[in-house]
Chain A
Amino acid sequence: MRRYRAVVAVGLGSALAFAATVAAAEPAPSPRAPRFGFGRPATAEEIQAWDIDVRPDGAGLPPGRGTVAQGKAVYAARCAACHGEAGRNGPFDALVGRGPRGSFAFGRDPSLVRTIGNYWPYATTLYDYVHRAMPWTQPGSLEPDEVYGLVAYLLFLNQIVPENAVLDAATLPRVVMPARDRFVRDNRRGGPGIR
């Protein structure tokens, strides 16, 4: 489903409607809360067309479901050319790898390769990113079931979910990634000292 590509057509329709509605939409400026009244109210349809983000709590996940086996087939057809068979040894980013288990020593060791399995803190991010930006040759072309399947397959290859896992809007947010607790907020504040 090309969710964000469909927006071009929606935007054009809105532009035509815009001229007729803008005058009525403009509120009178208030000295207490100065507003200019530029812009127009967004329609529910155009918000829905662009509102594709998915959060760690599962907000934004669409209906649909996918299994490891389904994802394996999609991966072979749409992803393996860039990322290699089973997420390794592709010409582009490695997706699979858990080592070094338990240490997260990326700051100490420049040779470590960051993957979904050893670095990504949230499984929902995988859905969000694959849906919005992959595959490279046809970004945004995957259906929700295909994305759920791909996420299931990649999490299985990274030994995070079992081979019989079924992912959907309810189960995906419950997946706990190995690196979830490794991330800290920025403590640099300027002033003396190097952090």
Chain B
Amino acid sequence: MARLTRRALLQRTAGGAAAILGQVPLDPTRIQGRGWRPQGERSPFERPERRPWGPEGGVSTSPLQDLGGIITPADLHFERHHAGVPAIDPERYRLLVHGMVDRPTVFTLAELKRFPSRSRICFIECSGNGQRGYRQIEKDVTPQAIDGLTSTSEWTGVPLATLFREAGVKPGATWFLAEGMDAAVMTRSIPVEKAWDDAMIAYAQNGEALRPEQGYPARLLLPGWEGNAQVKWIRRLKLADRPFMTREETARYTDPLPDCTARMFSFEMDAKSIITFPAHPVTLAAKGFWEITGLAWSGRGRITRVEVSTDGGSKWEPAVLQDPVLPKCHTRFRFPWRWNGSGALLMSRATDETGYVQPTLAQLRAARGLGTLYHYNNVRAWRVEADGRVFFGLPSA
């Protein structure tokens, strides 16, 4: 990763890089290094950045191509907010649980933290992720541009079931409304079964308090489900016997289908993968050994297999799944490759524990239609040119 990031930095800001190099001694063993600092920071040679996604200010992507392993540094977690990032005083924060409950209850942040906690590592993905790999295929896009609306963190919080037992969910309550305290007052309806399964109110991310962009001081966490439903800056949970049909679950986050219907409450993120190296804008410098690597994930459980093809899908071979392989979590895969110097078409295909196999672009377009929205999980392809340059591409292009 470092070799690419530094190269990209030098390409992007030749003058800036020269300035950084000027501060670095030629021989670090001949000069005392600096002392401790209250907060660490990246090497000045490393500049991974979120990037805007389209013209809207409320979206930024994670630099997937710059990351190793499965964890996304908190400051590089993708962003999606519908009315900006609110500033919230944790001392004034309250979570209200009401509606079809025996005991309408208000929790402070300190009270949420007093309950037995739970931590799990899982991905959060915006269901609009992958749009740039579905409809109009551009050559010069990076993994970040195509699939950067997914990130993995270790989340810590209180199981939602604990709070629901505390408030006493009434028989017949089948849905709950989750509402945020941003200026969108974001709302989604969630089936109550998810609370009894694995939903959480999370207040920590990768060992520290949530970042404001991820819902500080507390958010709903619905492992494996589309990001929009995992309401950030959560202030209210209202139990009911039906969904509320909010704007975000009707006018948005519904998936038009070729049969002239639209799928609603399509929460689960289907299995998906993307090669993050080699990928645009990398140029392979020489023939010989290169490790193909990338990420695979499924909202329905563990990734059980990732296959890689270097010839556009004629032959598939299994990739190594790097431990840990966790359910509903980014899984790192690796594949040793010896490049012979001629053109190649690199693809990855994920299978999850339900037996679901990541579809081809043609399969997904046939099932969903070209005009569908959200849940773009088709196989992605990278075309390696004979000169070593790499471009995003269609399997048949």
A binds B: yes
Interface residues of A (CB under 8 A from B): 4, 8, 11-12, 14-15, 18, 33-42, 46-47, 50-53, 55-56, 103-112, 114, 116, 119-122, 124-125, 128-129, 132-133, 136, 139-140, 179, 182-192, 194-195
Are B238 and A51 neighbours in the complex by a CB distance under 8 Å? yes
B257 part of interface (Cβ distance < 8 Å): yes
Interchain Cβ contacts under 8 Å between A and B, 24 examples: A18-B108, A35-B165, A51-B98, A55-B245, A103-B260, A105-B260, A106-B256, A106-B372, A108-B258, A108-B369, A108-B370, A108-B371, A111-B371, A120-B250, A122-B245, A129-B246, A139-B183, A139-B185, A182-B262, A183-B250, A185-B263, A186-B267, A187-B263, A190-B352
Interface centre among B106, B135, B265 (most CB of A within 10 A): B106
Pair B259/A192 contact, Cβ less than 8 Å = no
CB distance from B365 to the nearest CB of A (A): 10
Distance between B388 CB and nearest chain A CB, rounded to angstroms: 34
- The answer to whether residues A191 and B106 also contact, given A50-B236, A104-B261, A108-B258 and a CB cut-off of 8 A, is no
A50-B235, A56-B245, A139-B184 are known contacts. Are A107 and B260 too (CB-CB below 8 A)? yes
The interface residues of chain B lying within 8 Å CB-to-CB of A188 are: 263, 266, 268, 270
Cross-chain contact of B370 among A55, A110, A190 (Cβ < 8 A): A110
Whole-angstrom distance between the Cβ of B86 and the nearest chain A Cβ = 11
Q: Chain A at the B interface: mostly helix, strand, loop or mixed?
A: loop
The docked-state distance in angstroms from the alpha carbon of A65 to that of B363 is 50
CA distance in complex: A15, B93 (Å): 10
A47/B104 in contact, CB under 8 A? yes
How far is A154 from B336 in the complex, measured between Cα atoms in Å? Answer: 58
What is the distance, in angstroms, from A39's C-beta to the closest C-beta of chain B? 4
Q: How far is the CB of B243 from chain A (nearest CB, A)?
A: 9
> B76 near A: Cβ within 8 Å?
no
CB nearest neighbor in B for A133? B184
- Inter-chain CA distance A111–B257, complex, in Å, is 14
Q: A39, A46, A53: which contacts B187 (Cβ < 8 A)?
A: A53
B294 at the interface (CB under 8 A from A): no
Q: How far is the CB of B199 from chain A (nearest CB, A)?
A: 17
**Chain B 332-376, CB within 8 Å of chain A: the 1/0 string?**
000000000000000000001011110100011011111111000
For A111, give the chain B residue with the smallest CB separation: B371
A33 touches B165 (CB 8 A): yes
Complex interface: chain A residues within 8 A of B177 (CB): 53
Chain B residues contacting A122 (CB-CB under 8 Å) are 245, 250
Q: Among the interface residues B255, B260, B301, which one has the most CB atoms of the partner chain A within 10 A?
A: B260
CB neighbours of A129 from chain B (8 A): 246-247, 251
Chain B minimum-CB-distance residue to A38? B111
Complex-state Cα separation, A42 to B370, whole angstroms: 48
| B-chain residues with CB within 8 Å of residue A114 when the two chains form the complex | 251
**Which residue, B256, B258, B357, has most C-beta atoms of chain A within 10 A?**
B256
Pairwise interchain contact A39-B166, C-beta atoms closer than 8 A: yes
Chain B contacts of A34 at CB under 8 A? 165
Nearest CB in chain B: distance from A164 CB, A: 27
Residues of chain B contacted by A189 (CB below 8 angstroms)? 354
Q: Within the assembled complex, what's the spacing in Å between the Cα atoms of A84 and B255?
A: 27
Give the docked Cα–Cα distance between A22 and B287 (Å). 70
B244 at the interface (CB under 8 A from A): yes
How far, in whole Å, are A135 and B114 apart by their CA atoms in the complex? 38
Closest approach, in angstroms, between the C-beta of B123 and any C-beta of chain A?
16
User: Is B242 close to A, CB under 8 A?
Assistant: yes
**Chain A nearest CB, measured from B219 CB (Å):** 17
Does chain A have a CB within 8 A of B105?
A: yes
The size class of the interface chain B forms with chain A is 35 or more
Assembly CA distance A177 to B372 (angstroms):
21
Contact B259 A128 (CB under 8 A): no
Contact residue among A41, A42, A116, A194 (Cβ-Cβ distance under 8 Å from B363): A194
| Nearest Cβ on chain A to B136's Cβ, whole angstroms | 9
Pick from A15, A37, A106: contact of B262, CB below 8 A: A106
- Is the C-beta of B83 less than 8 angstroms from some C-beta in chain A? yes
Closest CB pairs A-B (n = 10):
A190-B354, A107-B369, A106-B256, A107-B256, A129-B247, A42-B104, A110-B371, A132-B185, A39-B105, A39-B107
In this complex, what residue of B is CB-closest to A106? B256
Of B162, B262, B352, B369, which is within 8 A of A184 by CB? B262
Q: For residue B301, which residue of chain A has the nearest CB? A: A190
Contacts of B254 in A (CB 8 A): 183
Known: A103-B260, A107-B371, A194-B367. 10 other contacts (CB 8 A): A33-B165, A36-B115, A50-B179, A106-B372, A107-B257, A107-B259, A119-B262, A186-B267, A188-B263, A192-B356
Q: Which residues of A contact B108 (CB under 8 A)?
A: 15, 18, 39
Task: Give every chain B residue within 8 A of A139 (Cβ-Cβ).
Answer: 83, 183-185
How many Å lie between the Cα of A149 and that of B166 in the bound state?
Answer: 41
**Inter-chain contacts of B364 with A (CB < 8 A):** 194
Q: Given A39-B106, A47-B98 in contact, is the A125-B111 Cβ separation under 8 Å? A: no
Q: How many angstroms between the C-alpha atoms of A41 and B168 in the bound complex?
A: 12
Cβ-closest chain A residue relative to B261: A184
Check B106 against A186 for contact (C-beta < 8 Å).
Answer: no
